[in-house]
Amino acid sequence: MAREIEWTDSEEIGIQLQEKFPDTDPYTVRFTDLHRYVTELPGFAGDPAKSNEGILEAIQKAWHEEYEDAK
């Protein structure tokens, strides 16, 4: 069984978001949408109320690195 994902797992979240949305530039995604995308990932077990701007920025950055690598 895959381990549960928490808000602090930004690299893993970035990988999964890149796999789910391969044609989306992460820097075009609003934080409200990014929050929803993360909470809908399989295996995500974090408390939806525990995110903040810094956490979402870290996830967006990790996702962007995956996005750039995939080009």
Domain ranges of the chain: 10-70
* pLDDT tens digits, one per residue of 44-64: 999 999 999 999 999 999 999
The predicted model scores a pTM of 0.94
From the list 47, 58, 48, 54, the residue with the least C-alpha distance to 17 is 58
What fold is seen in the domain 10-70? Arc Repressor Mutant, subunit A (1.10.10)
Distance in angstroms (rounded) separating the CA atoms of residues 50 and 6: 10
pLDDT of residue 3: 80
Given a cut of 90, whether residue 68 has pLDDT beyond it is yes
**7: closest CA among 40, 67, 60, 50?**
50
